[in-house]
Amino acid sequence: QTVVTQEPSLSVSPGGTVTLTCGLNSGSVSTNSYPSWYQQTPGQAPRTLIYTTNIRSSGVPDRFSGSILGNKAALTITGAQADDESDYYCVLYMGSGVRVFGGGTKLTVL
């Protein structure tokens, strides 16, 4: 069974930089996985941040960036702000129309 892995929790200081990763329990993530990233605050619908590895969605600040680091997809937040404190989810395309979400990363800004 394919499992998409994310750090359960991370913390960052205001103004700092943090990298969230998205991997596979078996195999590597590449651009062919079309990784995308979503931000969700409690009680709200998800918001699209990054798609197709590194394309920022409309209106997303450029402090959010996506990449492939080693065998994982990565979301980097540079100059973190208090309102970046959220849950972050990645999703990978597995082929045959199937997408699988990671378990999410709870980011704390403190």
Partner 1 sequence: EVQLLESGGGLVQPGGSLRLSCAASGFTFSTYAMSWVRQAPGKGLEWVSAISGTGGSTFYADSVKGRFIVSRDNSKSTLYLQVNSLRDEDTAIYYCAKGGGYDPFDCWGQGTLVTVSS
Residue pair 30/54 in contact by the 8 Å Cβ criterion: no
Among 38, 20, 40, residue whose Cα is nearest residue 85 = 40
Residue 23 sits at φ, ψ, to 5 deg, of: -125, -175
Region near partner 1 per CB under 8 A, out of 12-20, 21-29, 72-80, 84-92: 84-92
Region near partner 1 per CB under 8 A, out of 18-26, 64-72, 73-81, 90-98: 90-98
Q: Does 5 bind partner 1 (CB under 8 A)?
A: no
Q: Residues for the chain: how many in total?
A: 110
The single residue among 56, 60, 76, 101 that binds partner 1, judged by CB under 8 A, is: 101
Residue 3 sits at φ, ψ, to 5 deg, of: -125, 130
Residues that bind partner 1 in the complex, under the rule CB under 8 A: 34, 36, 38, 40, 45-48, 51-52, 57, 87, 89, 91, 93, 96-104
